Amino acid sequence: MTENTAAIPASERPGTPAQPQDLIDVDALLEAYRTGRPDVTDPAQKVVFGTSGHRGSALKTSFNDDHIAAITQAVVEYRAAHGITGAILVGKDTHALSGPAQDTAVEVLLGNDVEVLVDARGGFTPTPAVSHAILHLNAGRELTPAGFAADGDNAGLVDGLVITPSHNPPADGGFKYNPPHGGPADTEATTWIADRANELLAAGLEGVRRVAGADVAGHPRLGEFDFLDRYVSDLPQVLDLEAIRDAGVRIGADPMGGASVAYWGEIGRRHGLDLTVVNPEADPTFGFMTLDWDGKIRMDCSSPHAMASLIERMRPDADGEAPFDVATGNDADADRHGIVTPDGGLMNPNHFLAVAIDYLYRHRRRWPADAGVGKTLVSSSMIDRVAGDLGRELVEVPVGFKWFVPGLLTGTGVFGGEESAGASFVKFDGGAWSTDKDGLLLCLLAAEIIAVTGQSPSERYRDLVALHGSPAYARIDAPATAEQKAKLKTLSPDDVPVTELAGETILATLTNAPGNDAPIGGLKVVTQNAWFAARPSGTEDVYKIYAESFRGPEHLKQVQEEAQRLVDAVIG
């Protein structure tokens, strides 16, 4: 008997294939994008830049033509205020709203007489390909960490817009600005852009200059850039593709319907790799996906539910043979990576980051010997122990990839990684490759590790566990009002009165990141064998508790419980 999935709530079907009732109505979504008019008195409908730009949905009147027109005009004015006169690169992913948003942005850019470069192949563009292209076109110009020319003359510098909500569900849209350094814009830039965009929205878009859609084709200021060719051609500068090819590593790459779909096939062909694109389909409903933990379609390559079909495909046959030596997944803009091995299944992102760091710092001989190991403060302390074993300084920064940009740009920070499966690193010679997260890069690194060491990343992680111990790591959410979240965001170490956590002496209470002294927007408490970090959610009435223990799952649970009691007491 065939199961009637239509009668089963989506939330009870994580890891199962999406059904027709789970899919978005693309036509209705696009109509809402064109016709929706945001109410700027409603905070949920204003422009808000998080760690990865502005995100929303046309169905919630939080991502519409008006939003994108206002944000793009604000970006134009921001560029003008800083004397940035070069072209602006525009890339999009495969979400349904990304195409219309690109059309809006291009019309506003051309209306302001800004030179625009779009994809020469008329396709989709991963975030790291935009970042790499910006760095390529700005090569030879010394830049500051903020993304401006060191000599104060920004004329001729290029920057970019990336239109993507990353791994978010199909009804969502996203829009982010990357300055001339190629990475995510810093808080000062995004605050200015968001404030100006909201002013324009409140003024009914008065001040937004825009050409008609019919006048875009053939416009003298509209040009093209071959993002794919630039990215794929330059890969040997950052990865040992020859070793992967010679070892015959079998790679199964799943773009998960995202912007990397054409890239994977070309990488395999051009570099002679044994690489199979296991799902070449691009569908704005993402109807081929398996449902995530909450029953939503979400292209999260770190989720075993969203990656269920690839995990199943990697199961060994009756003879113990898996179809690939490594299978990989990417989210819709390919800035995140998922690694599946025959012997370990889908790797926890923290585990692969630790393996990547241990491998890279031992095999990139030309990297500067004094370059530290970059991690966000909610990433696993296994990375701390790996860095110590390598004799490298640990550079711990707040959540947000923007904090890694200065190091990656200058080569003083050769690797940066987040617990949410986002990372990048520099070229063999220490030069910048991508100052934004690069999921393709990390997936191919997994293949290089297999080729060079003869071990899978899972096997190498087990070696690290034998050396450093086995951490238990988890994240939970706790309820909090807007007032409580605001208080959590502005805590000082003096606000925490306790000296012990889960039976261990507290060694550090942090509200600023030790790697760069930037505010973490929350609290981190560290003991010898455990830690927790609490941060307010930007979109929900909760705060997030990240926690880890090297003393096992039961101790982790104790850490979580005491962390919640401590934070609740402090924020009232």
Cα–Cα distance for residue pair 438/311, rounded to 1 Å: 22
Burial pattern 357-378, b for ≥16 Cβ within 10 A else e, equals: bbbbbeebeebeeebbbbbbbb
Q: Is residue 265 in a domain?
A: no
CATH of the domain at 557: 3.30.310.50
Q: Is residue 154 in a domain?
A: yes
Write the DSSP assignment of 426-454 as a string of letters: --TTS--S-SS--HHHHHHHHHHHHHHHS
Q: Report the half-sphere exposure of 537 (CA within 13 A, side-chain side).
A: 14
pLDDT tens-place string over residues 83-118: 999 999 999 999 999 999 999 999 999 999 999 999
CATH of the domain at 215: 3.40.120.10
Per-position pLDDT tens, the chain of length 572: 345 555 687 788 999 999 999 999 999 999 999 999 999 999 999 999 987 789 999 999 999 999 999 999 999 999 999 999 999 999 999 999 999 999 999 999 999 999 999 999 999 999 999 999 999 999 999 998 888 999 999 999 999 999 999 999 999 999 999 999 999 999 999 999 999 999 999 999 999 999 999 999 999 999 999 999 999 999 999 999 999 999 999 999 999 999 999 999 999 999 999 999 999 999 999 999 999 999 999 999 999 999 999 999 999 988 889 999 999 999 999 999 999 999 989 999 999 999 999 999 999 999 999 999 999 999 999 999 999 999 999 999 999 999 999 999 988 999 999 999 999 999 999 999 999 999 999 999 999 999 999 999 999 999 999 999 999 999 999 999 999 999 999 999 999 889 999 999 999 999 999 999 999 999 999 999 999 999 998 767 889 999 999 999 999 999 999 999 999 999 98
Residue 337 phi/psi, 5-degree rounding, is: -130, 145
- Which stretches within 203-240 are classed as H helix? 227-234
- Domain count for the chain: 2
Q: Is residue 453 in a domain?
A: no
Q: Is residue 168 in a domain?
A: yes
Q: Is residue 56 in a domain?
A: yes
Sign of the CA dihedral running 528, 534, 535, 539:
positive
Q: Is residue 362 in a domain?
A: no
Q: Supply the pTM of this predicted model.
A: 0.95
Cα–Cα distance for residue pair 541/482, rounded to 1 Å: 7
Q: Is residue 196 in a domain?
A: yes
Residue 466 identity (one-letter amino acid): A
Q: Check residue 539 and give its pLDDT.
A: 65
Q: Check residue 7 and give its pLDDT.
A: 67
Structural domain containing residue 142: 21-229
Cα–Cα distance for residue pair 522/493, rounded to 1 Å: 10
pLDDT tens-place string over residues 431-458: 999 999 999 999 999 999 999 999 999 9
Backbone φ/ψ region at 351: left (φ over 0), alpha (ψ -120 to 50), beta: alpha
- Name, in order, each residue with C-beta under 8 angstroms of 398's C-beta and a sequence gap of 6 or more: 376, 377, 513, 518, 519, 520, 521
Asked if 250 and 323 count as a contact pair (C-beta separation under 8 A), the reply is yes
Q: Is residue 567 in a domain?
A: yes
Residues identified as active-site = 166
Q: How far is CA 198 from CA 59, 130, 182, in A?
A: 19, 26, 25
| Secondary structure letter of residue 123 according to DSSP | S
Using only the alpha carbons of the chain, give its radius of gyration.
23
Q: Choose the final residue of a domain: 229, 259, 276.
A: 229
Q: Choose the final residue of a domain: 229, 249, 271.
A: 229
* Other residues' Cβ atoms within 10 Å of the Cβ of residue 415: 25
Q: Choose the final residue of a domain: 229, 245, 270.
A: 229
Convert 171-193 into a string of H (helix), E (strand) and C (coil).
CEEEEEEECCCCCCCCHHHHHHH
- State the first-to-last Cα distance of the chain, in angstroms, to the nearest integer: 54
